[in-house]
A and B are shown apart, each in its own frame.
Chain A
Amino acid sequence: MASNIVEARGVTKDFGTVQAVKGVDLSIAPGELFGLIGHNGAGKSTLFKMMLGLIPLTAGEIRLDGDLVNGPRFRETRRKIGYLPENVVLYDNLTGLETLHFFADLKAVARSECAALLDKVGLANAASRRVKEYSKGMRQRLGFAQALLGTPRLLFLDEPTTGLDPGAIRDFYRILRELKGEGVTMVLTSHILAEIQERVDRLSIMEDGRIRATGTVQQLREGMNLPLTLEIAGGAGLREQVSRVLEGLAIESIEEAGNTLHIRLPRDAKMPALTRLATLGEAMRDLHVREPSLEDVFFGYRN
């Protein structure tokens, strides 16, 4: 069995009398795209910084690829990781290429990698421009290129699509898919839950310094037993027909928006409801089963 690339055990962080992280256990397998979500103040940024070795732990330990994050092999450990901060602040007076050269030198990576990385993030044409002339999105992409220096085994991405336009976001996730294919493990935080719900393999929801739940999006949905929504399009009189065939099932609500009905019902009522709706025949033009979104799941765990 391959050992976990991130292993956190009993991780606790106190800031004076405030306990920001409370005994967190977390395991991330090699090659996983792992999400860490939580509202502001939930402790995810603190946990993230502890995983990066930026702040010391009050208790517990974090191992990256088997080594303590700030242990005796810290240089080797750091060379295995890449980090993209939320607000990428680089050096305005350097060009894009010079910026990568600087970070490549510190990571002991050959400078010859830099041009290819700039090309990969779509900045090849801006390589000789000074960073102060870069837009926010370009800085974010340069920061991403910096994180990719030295082909890291583990990437930490903090709100990575901040400032990116839709096209750049698509390109960003395309690169993440390629990296995943190469076996790179990625840990990302994001407030844009819709953006990550289809992309992460697993995620943890943090609340009040603790991990409330960890799993795939589907596992978290099932764990919460949140209601599903059936969206049914049809003609006049559809609401009455639907209400009649679903009579006796534990329907939570039926709302009408134009020619579409939105029916909320418990997960275990889905199959009986679909069986009965099938009897409506052509009165029903379209049917769509909408699972709870990650946002629904997130707020479900918070409440």
Chain B
Amino acid sequence: MLSIDLKQIGIIAGKEFWDRIRNRWVLAVAIVFTVFALVIAYFGSAQQGAVGFRSIDVTIASLVSLVIYLIPLIALILGFDAIVGERERGSLDLLLTLPITRKELILGKYTGLAAALAFSTIAGFGAVGLILSPQLDLNALFHYAGFMGSAILLGFAFLSLAVMLSVFAADRTRASGLAIAMWFFFVLVFDLLILGALVVTAGDYGGDIFPYLLLANPADVFRVLNVFSLDEVRTLYGLATVFPEALSNPVTLGGVMLAWIVGPLAVAIWRFER
């Protein structure tokens, strides 16, 4: 078995990261995050007839809704052609004749793209955090940092899924189609399916496992992770009574999110090495 050379991973990762800096991808995504987050922070309570920053709990609850749509989409767009794009352009063969293993290539690509995504997330939401900081106490800042951290993990999970489908897809067109389908499934369809199943069964059959089914969707893991860390929002969502205790543990949820990052990436490496 061939050992892993971290230097090779670093070279590939560095190129991927600087490519995104250079073509202003990181800047564009950071600006999108900043603008959306600012709008939500100041106008998120407009439905209740109030404008302006209210509380960090309400702001984070609104941002969670935004991030669940936006970050998976951005991560899938970022990673869907990581491998299939190189293969289709013809540059993959050249890379694979170099002293680099397929595993190192995937890990390098993933690390570089993940760094770009994390950098834009930190820059985008961090800027808003700075703007809001005069109105936040230490506890609120801690919650906001937790929200940013979980948003980064959500991005990593969907990036991992994107890289996996990039290895399996025969061409870029199919990869982009699969990426869109994946986004629809996890962000829009999955919850509807669970809700539909609950309504159809009237909660009579297997009602206890439904909360756990949320773990099968990284977007839901992210939602639960943030909602359960905020008392005000937890009550607002009415989740305190329906969720099992085990699911409200951030460490458990963080572990599930890590599994969503490592799992698809491991499958991608396995397939790419075959």
Contacts and interface: CB of A to CB of B under 8 A. Distances in A.
Interface of A: 49, 52-54, 72, 74-76, 78-79, 81, 83, 85, 87-91, 93, 102-103, 105-108, 143, 146, 156
B50 to A, nearest CB: 46
B8 to A, nearest CB: 6
Interface residues on B, range: 20 to 34
Interface stretch (B90-98, B133-141, B168-176, B246-254): B90-98
Given A75-B99, A93-B22, A108-B99, A85 B90 contact: yes
**Top 4 closest pairs, chain A to chain B, by CB:** A78-B99, A75-B99, A89-B90, A83-B97
A79 B94 CA distance: 13
B11 A102 contact: yes
Nearest to A156: B97
A74 B2 contact: yes
B91 A91 contact: yes
Interface centre among B11, B95, B97 (most CB of A within 10 A): B97
B89 A52 contact: no
A78 B93 contact: no
A90 B90 CA distance: 9
Contact of B99 (A90, A91, A107): A107
Contacts of B99: 74-76, 78-79, 106-108
B15 interface: yes
A251 B95 CA distance: 55
B98 A78 contact: yes
B58 interface: no
B89 A107 contact: no
10 contacts: A52-B97, A53-B97, A75-B5, A87-B90, A89-B94, A93-B19, A103-B98, A106-B12, A146-B94, A156-B97
Nearest to B8: A106
Given A78-B98, A90-B91, 12 more contacts: A53-B96, A54-B96, A74-B2, A79-B99, A81-B97, A83-B94, A91-B19, A103-B98, A105-B11, A106-B11, A106-B100, A107-B99
A55 to B, nearest CB: 10
B47 interface: no
B93 A54 contact: yes
B101 to A, nearest CB: 8
Interface centre among B12, B89, B94, B100 (most CB of A within 10 A): B94
A232 B257 CA distance: 83
B89 A89 contact: yes
Interface string B18-38: 010011000000000000000
Interface in B43-91: 89-91
B23 A54 contact: no
Contacts of A156: 97
A103 B91 CA distance: 12
Nearest to B96: A54
Contact of B94 (A53, A75, A85): A85
Contacts of B15: 91, 102
Contacts of A89: 89-91, 94
Contacts of A146: 94
A107 B5 CA distance: 12
A102 B11 CA distance: 8
A102 B112 CA distance: 14
A129 to B, nearest CB: 15
A151 to B, nearest CB: 15
Interface in B97-119: 97-100
B90 A78 contact: no
Contacts of B94: 83, 85, 88-89, 143, 146
B93 A107 contact: no
Given A74-B2, A89-B91, A91-B91, A107 B98 contact: yes
Contacts of A79: 99
B98 A106 contact: yes
A72 B1 CA distance: 8
A186 to B, nearest CB: 15
A158 to B, nearest CB: 9
A156 B38 CA distance: 56
Contacts of A105: 11
Contacts of B98: 78, 103, 106-107
B92 to A, nearest CB: 9
A81 B96 CA distance: 12
A267 to B, nearest CB: 42
Nearest to B104: A106
